Amino acid sequence: MHIGKRIGIILVWVTGLVFVFAGVNNNDPYLVVLRGTGNLLLAITSVAVVFTLVRRDAWRRGRWAGKLLVVLWCLPPLAILTSHVTFELRKRSVLQTEPARARSLGRHFIVGYSSFDEVARLAEQGLIAGIYVTRHNVAGRTAAALKAEIAALQDRRRIAGLPPLIVAADQEGGIVSHLAPPLTALPSLASLAELAPDEQRAKAEEFGRIHGREMASLGVNLNFAPVLDLRPAARRNRFDFNTLISQRAISDDPAKVSMIAAAYIHGLEASGVGATVKHFPGLGRVRADTHHFSADLDTPIGELEATDWRPFREVLSTSDARLMVGHVAVGALDPGRPASHSKAVIDGLIRKTWNYQGIVVTDDLVMGAIYQHDFCTAVVEALNAGVDLLLVAYDGAQFYRIFACASNAANRDALDTGMLRDSEIRLKRTLEID
């Protein structure tokens, strides 16, 4: 057999295995780009390969090898169909949740979305407390179109007798300006770090007012900003594809971070938009990108309190900001468990030691540091730790799996009713959620 033909056969085998893998893992957020048209192309390609192999007598030739190759290429469409059926069954189960349960658990979720009709149904049934709008919601659209869409969702909530949706977005300025365009693209707050103190405060408040005014005009009422992580001293590693905190952090000086962030929040809140400080316990010392990998923070608590955590404590004590907790494990408090679902961090440190009684929201749960581990355990532990809002941003379709985790835990009495009751009180007080 010629070397070229051998290579061709090997490539057919390898490609077939890749297609099977894609089909089996079709619901995975890493493969979100394959859904819809991508799945159709995978299936059509698989059928075409099977047809070609059969026509060339691969089924008969080469004893078992040819038969196995044909069987291999029959598997991707079956795997895709199985994944789709699994997803639809879980979705149907969630949508049939008893109304009282739906509203009781639904008040804890903010979801990203692509389909208006799908998210409208979740909103009408009280299965979610809010939505997250980002680049794909504004791509190729006018501000007026997004405003009308948000207004339509709020109308449906009102007709259903439910409180207004939280409408959240990431509009930090700089590289994270997910609604710009159509909104104004402002520089990051880090661009103000070298100005005189008075000018820092004035410009930061102006940035906050601009963001707040423009977001409020769309119907967005919660901004996942500002970033309070300290800028890392050393250059981050080559595997940091998404966090890029060195470009987003305001400064490496805690006092400067606190001052600029507080002024920005004042401007944002004056325009009717809530602020969310992030990403506690801080990403400045962390080298791993939690979008894809687990991360640990092994610095002593005393040092963290004096540096990385100082802006969080100062800003939270002087504003109505929410607190976003990231997926970094604090070694001195709860080694190996991300802060986003650590009771030692959320209930122990934040609630009891710091006495912060505002809203705590997780970073996106569709991140590798959470998703690649025991997903359901993280969801249940987050609620039991006192987290108020769980964010499902990047791949909103994962909401059905996450909600099912919470609902199943409620069925087996694995949710802490005391924690849920306290969270309900905080949500009603802070966000006026019924």
Gyration radius from the chain CA atoms? 24
Q: How many CB atoms lie within 10 A of CB 34?
A: 18
Residue 129's nearest CA partner among 427, 381, 429, 430 is 427
* Active site amino acids: 291, 363
- Measured between alpha carbons, how far is 65 from 67 in angstroms, rounded to an integer? 6
Q: Which helix (H) or strand (E) holds 5?
A: helix 3-24
Burial zone of 162 (CB within 10 Å; 0-12 exposed, 13-18 middle, 19+ buried): buried
Tokens of 208: 């906050």
The amino acid sitting at 155 is D
Q: Is the CB of residue 404 less than 8 Å from the CB of residue 93?
A: yes
- Measured between alpha carbons, how far is 138 from 180 in angstroms, rounded to an integer? 9
341-377: burial string, b at 16+ Cβ within 10 Å, e else: bbbbbbbbbbbeebebebbbbbbbbbbbbbbeeebee
DSSP state of 108: T
